[in-house]
Structure 1
Amino acid sequence: MALVACPKCQKRISSLAKQCEHCKTDLSGNTESLTIISHIERSNSLMTQSFIFLTLFIAGVVVWFWGGEPAQGLTSYAAIASFVIGFTGYLVTRVRIVLHKRKSV
């Protein structure tokens, strides 16, 4: 008996288990299809996160330059925060997507 990764939740389970104790996935059938589905779901989740950060970045730029002049006061702080969080989040998420795509399914 060895410990292996569950094809759905990637948590450690017994190689003899018929069902994952964490996510209750049935392991008696074809587990390769579960691995592929899990990989696709993770890819979709990362793409959604990337879209959210990109939207936050664009919103920061729009708020900063709304009306033709740079924002001032509290609006400028909100715009800068949105811009920085969106930009760094987008870059980090894109790196995570590249690393995820390099994993073999």
Structure 2
Amino acid sequence: MALIECPVCKKRMSSKATRCPSCNISVGEESESAARINSIQKSTQLQTHSFLALTLFIAGVVIWFWGGEVAEGKQALVGAVCFVFGFAGYLITRVRIVLHKRKS
């Protein structure tokens, strides 16, 4: 007997159990479809994070060059912060997407 992870609630349960004691879902065909649904939800969440990071990156560039000249003062600071966090967030999220696809 081994401990496995429930595909729905992610709690540990016995490999010989027919139902999860936490969420009461039956193990078998339903658990495969639940695992697939969880994988799709995770992919959608990662794509949303990627989109938000890219939007932040673009906002930083727009703020930095607003008015046709390079920004100064607070505008430069806000633009640079948005640019850096957006770029770093986008790269990190893309790596997470690749790792999630390899896992699936």
TM norm structure 2: 0.87
Counterpart of 2:14 in structure 1 is: 14
The percentage of aligned residue pairs carrying the same residue is 55
TM-fit CA distance, 1:13: 2.5
Instruction: Tell me which stretches of 4 or more aligned residues in structure 1 moved more than 3 Å.
Output: none
Counterpart of 1:35 in structure 2 is: 35
Q: How big is the alpha-carbon RMSD for the aligned residues of Structure 1 and Structure 2?
A: 1.7
Given that 1:8 and 1:25 are in contact with CA atoms closer than 8 Å, whether structure 2 keeps it comes out as: no
> Unaligned 5+ residue runs, structure 2?
none
Counterpart of 1:77 in structure 2 is: 77
1: CA distance, partners of 2:39 / 2:32:
11
TM-fit CA distance, 1:5: 1.1
> Unaligned 5+ residue runs, structure 1?
none
> In the alignment, does 2:61 pair up with 1:61?
yes
TM-fit CA distance, 1:20: 5.0
- Residues 28, 6 of structure 1: alpha-carbon distance in 2 compared, 3 angstrom cutoff: closer
Aligned length: 102
TM norm structure 1: 0.87
